[in-house]
Chains A and B, each alone.
Chain A
Amino acid sequence: MSVVRADIRPTRRRPEPARRATVVEVERATVVEVDGATAVVGGRTVWSGVDATVAAGEFVAVLGPNGAGKSTLLKAVLGLIPVAGGAIRLLGRPPGQANHAVGYLPQRRSFDTSLRVRGVDVVRLGLDGDRWGIPLPGRRSRAAAARVRELVELVGAGRYADRPIGQLSGGEQQRLLIAQALARRPELLLLDEPLDSLDLPNQAAVAALLSRICRAEGVAAVIVAHDVNPILPYLDRVIYLGHGGAASGTPAQVINSGTLTRLYGTPVEVLSTSDGRLVVVGQPEAPAHHGGRHDRHAA
């Protein structure tokens, strides 16, 4: 049993993000549309009948217990995993056809300490790493280098971006990877556990950084999270994947006793304190539990 205290202030409105597009949209365009989608990985149905939408500029969390298929959802949106049923549309196109407009940060990869490639090189790969050939000096190369500097400043990594990335701390690496994901000015960021294995101050700092960047650049963000607390203040929408199904809506709509009890299959109570904060009681999985993830690093 564990208690999660969630800072949800339903009355709070997010300021409208500055859109790059010159046309002022009356209604926010839909970036991601998941319609009754089913994912099957290795013969096992990970989730089915998932409905969700992400609108331009929204800050969305994908929550749920281990093994609920949170990462699978991001991969399905990118077209890295086909959906077995239903449909997913990314910027109005089938998955995999609009990835140039997406910044993707997969589940935490800690670079090996012996990896002798600088942080700026890793950021640069996000910009033109898919281009054939080798980078030659010239106008395009100078423009790319300038963009990389801009990105490094945006995430506040100027002090250490020229050091080998393997020697940087987890938080420093994560900032550079966020810069990499932003390199091509995406309309959507897909972030898989960006706060995992960061210490608490870094979790709060990176969450605030993400929210600030998304507003400044007008980027929608879908964040897979183990622990909802650091990002809760910034959330517009929650997609909850549980073993019993899925739910999507505003934090207040999803994080309530009825929905969570159905998703977890065990009684869960959500209490509201007098100052509007939510307390989730009876969530079967402690948010600090990271079992399994570190086995992968050890391998």
Chain B
Amino acid sequence: MTGTFTWNLIGDLQDMWSLPFMLNAFRAGTVVALLAAPAGWFMVLRRQSFAGHTLALVGFPGAAAAVWLGLGVATGYVSFCVIAALVIAALPAGTRGGYSEQSAVIGTVQAFALASGMLFVALYKGFLNGTNALLFGSFLGITAGQVTTLAVLAAVALAVLAAVGRPLLFASIDADVAQAHGVPVRALGTVFLVLLGVAVAEVGQITGVLLVFALLVLPPATAQVLVARPVASLALSVVLALVTVWVALFVAYYSPYPIGFWLTTVAFGLYALAQAATAVRGRLAVRGRLAVAGG
């Protein structure tokens, strides 16, 4: 983008927000971060990253087909991701929720999804510029209507996630005991995959289908490195996702490079910092113990 950066950051933000598309980008990014972080937090905990990535890739043909049919990108993302979530949930349960046994099946689906996406792109002539945005993200051209759709969908998804939060945590950590306590483990798994499908569909619209993990995995993984308390860890992952989105949008406004790159870079930087901080803390703790033992 072409803005003039000054060190008056608030002034810069006001500058950006005077442009409707930037204001919508910040609104959409905030909504997406609020949903992506908790959904991603459970995804990381449940080791369903592979399923999450598959859902994202299925979003590509969904969005491409929707554009081809003139239905709107968001409709394509959400419908394809939710259907794919239901399909993955219907696959026979893998070992310990990790879906490792289904990796071949899911991998096949991923390849086919990408291929179909390219077919739909080819069918819709003149759409080729949009391919890049679908794969690697874009924050241009988000309308106020789209922001409202994203917000309503995210609110519903978050409400469901809050309602099932505790039993879902139980089922994620300890499926056998949760089942013995009467938690509907299988049904919760399906509900969660659908929620994940919605989250992925929303995130994909900002980050592109190939970079959904920038918001879905990195902030929760960073939070889990730093904090072991579930509620605090969830809250921290939301904060980190918001920071990631805001910093990335801010930088992308002044830079010629795509938003997906900045999102991923910021999120990755935070993750690397967290890992480094933990390593240093561990080293210091060991040294402290040695000093106590030596002294």
A residues with a Cβ closer than 8 A to B are 78, 80, 99-100, 102, 104-106, 109, 111, 115-118, 121-122, 125-126, 128-135, 163-164, 180-181, 299
Contacts and interface: CB of A to CB of B under 8 A. Distances in A.
Contacts of A80: 179-180
A59 to B, nearest CB: 20
A130 B171 CA distance: 9
A279 to B, nearest CB: 36
28 contacts: A78-B180, A100-B181, A102-B180, A104-B177, A109-B174, A109-B176, A111-B173, A116-B225, A116-B228, A117-B45, A117-B230, A121-B230, A122-B173, A125-B170, A125-B178, A129-B167, A129-B178, A129-B183, A130-B166, A131-B166, A132-B163, A134-B162, A134-B165, A134-B166, A163-B228, A164-B228, A180-B177, A299-B100
Sort A-B residue pairs by CB-CB distance and give the 10 closest, nearest first: A129-B170, A106-B176, A134-B165, A104-B180, A116-B224, A130-B181, A164-B228, A125-B170, A116-B228, A118-B228
Given A78-B180, A125-B173, A134-B166, 12 more contacts: A80-B180, A99-B181, A109-B174, A116-B225, A118-B229, A122-B174, A125-B166, A125-B170, A130-B166, A130-B183, A132-B166, A163-B228
A299 B98 CA distance: 10
A133 B225 contact: no
B233 to A, nearest CB: 7
B13 interface: no
A299 B170 contact: no
Contacts of A78: 180
Interface in B109-134: none
Contacts of A116: 224-225, 227-228, 233
A109 B179 CA distance: 15
Contacts of B100: 299
Give the most central of B176, B177, B227: most A CB within 10 Å: B177
A104 B181 CA distance: 9
B173 A135 contact: no
Contact of A133 (B162, B174, B178, B233): B162
Contacts of A109: 174, 176
Contacts, number: 85
A129 B229 contact: no
Interface of B: 45, 95, 100, 162-167, 169-170, 173-174, 176-183, 224-225, 227-231, 233
B153 to A, nearest CB: 20
Contacts of B225: 116
Contacts of A164: 228
Contacts of B170: 125, 129-130
B13 to A, nearest CB: 32
A299 B95 contact: yes
Contacts of B180: 78, 80, 99, 102, 104, 106
Give the most central of A100, A125, A135, A163: most B CB within 10 Å: A125
Contact of B181 (A115, A129, A132, A163): A129
Nearest to B180: A104
A135 B173 CA distance: 17
Nearest to A184: B181
B223 to A, nearest CB: 9
Contacts of B164: 132
A114 to B, nearest CB: 8
Contacts of B179: 80
Contact of A130 (B178, B230, B233): B178
Contact of B231 (A102, A126, A135, A163): A135
Contacts of B182: 99-100, 130
Contacts of B176: 104, 106, 109
A125 B170 CA distance: 6
Contacts of B162: 133-134
A70 to B, nearest CB: 15
A126 B173 CA distance: 11
A109 B177 CA distance: 11
Contacts of A132: 163-164, 166-167
